[in-house]
Amino acid sequence: MSPQFKANATPTEEDGKSLSAELISNLILNSPVAQALALIGDRWAFLIIRDIYQGARQFEELRRLSGAARGTLTSRLKRLVENGILYRNPYRDAPVRYEYRLTDKGLGLYPVVLNVWEWETKWGEGEHIPLQLTHSTCGKSMHPIYRCRHCHAKARIEEFRFRAGQDRSPGKKVPPRFQRRSKSRSSVGADVDQRFFHYLDVIGDRWTSLVLAAAFFGLQRYDQILEAIGIATNILSDRLKLLVDAGVLVKLQYQDKPARYEYHLTDKGRDLYVPTLAMHEWGNRWLIRDKERSMVLHHQLCGKNFESEIVCSECDGLVASSNVVYGSADAD
């Protein structure tokens, strides 16, 4: 079944106005998600943030948990510090040694990390699923519920519409470092923490994320996606195959001669909308000034612009990084 968050051949805004192919392209490439991906859109940056949220601080520990080469880890840490997501905190004087901690901007990524955790728990493969989460407020093992702050309805892809914001400038090109896929789990050492790896195997580079973004906009045909994100044909074919093989998209034939196909989101793919929505909110808050927003999301159930909150599935209390424990609350 195809998603309701679509408009067949031509996506529309919440008021029903049809959008040109050029504007669709600009909305995707200039979106808060695209800008967030420019900072944290590769495997290594995301793994660093994952590990720091779970208590890792020092270079060697981060290297062991992520499996990143020294040069790769050094460059990603440097970039995350330069962009205000991490800061270096000295913990020894002679010689000087530093640990890495999250800034307020980095702490703001917690809803993204939690929603990736929830997706990986549901759709991850094998033994490397995330640890359980315990809400220290109620002391129970819980799942995070990402919902509308206004009406308290759980965020679902089919209940959102959008309108273009004031920024309708041409879309920004994908930086070369995000055009290549990072190594998958098959090449990592035995000591590497493989939690979240299924998510990263699926969303391992910015091109794949942009193909998925096009699907969220309702673009289902090869030529539509090609035009929307400005991707080379061989790369698009590769990423579509990857997403189909991962069960995120399903390939459906709509024409016989010549054979033509559409790519529809599966339930697994639709569930990726929630961590993407969390990234959209983070990008809007930390990367974009209000007057420059390219897109505003509208929650149809309550008729308001979407603002989120995360609550515990067991006690309905608000969830934050300060009151969530990885594993049982009484774990050592």
pLDDT in tens, the chain (332 residues): 333 333 333 444 545 556 677 778 888 888 888 889 888 888 899 999 999 988 899 999 999 999 899 999 999 999 999 999 999 999 888 788 899 999 999 999 999 999 999 999 889 876 566 678 999 999 999 999 999 999 999 999 989 888 776 655 554 555 554 444 554 444 556 678 787 788 888 887 788 988 999 999 889 999 999 988 888 899 999 999 999 999 999 999 988 888 889 999 999 999 999 999 999 999 999 988 766 666 788 899 999 999 999 999 999 999 999 999 876 555 44
Residues 176-189 have pLDDT tens digits of 544 445 544 445 56
Q: What pTM did the predictor assign?
A: 0.86
Domains and CATH numbers, the chain: 21-39+104-326 (1.10.10.10)
Buried b (16+ CB within 10 A) or exposed e, 265-304: bbebbbbbbbbbbbbbbbbbebbbeeeebbbbbbbebeee
Are 285 and 108 a contacting pair, CB within 8 Å? yes
**Token pair of 201 as six digits:** 């195997």
Helices (H), the chain: 21-29, 32-40, 43-53, 59-66, 70-82, 104-107, 110-123, 197-202, 206-216, 222-229, 233-245, 267-271, 273-286
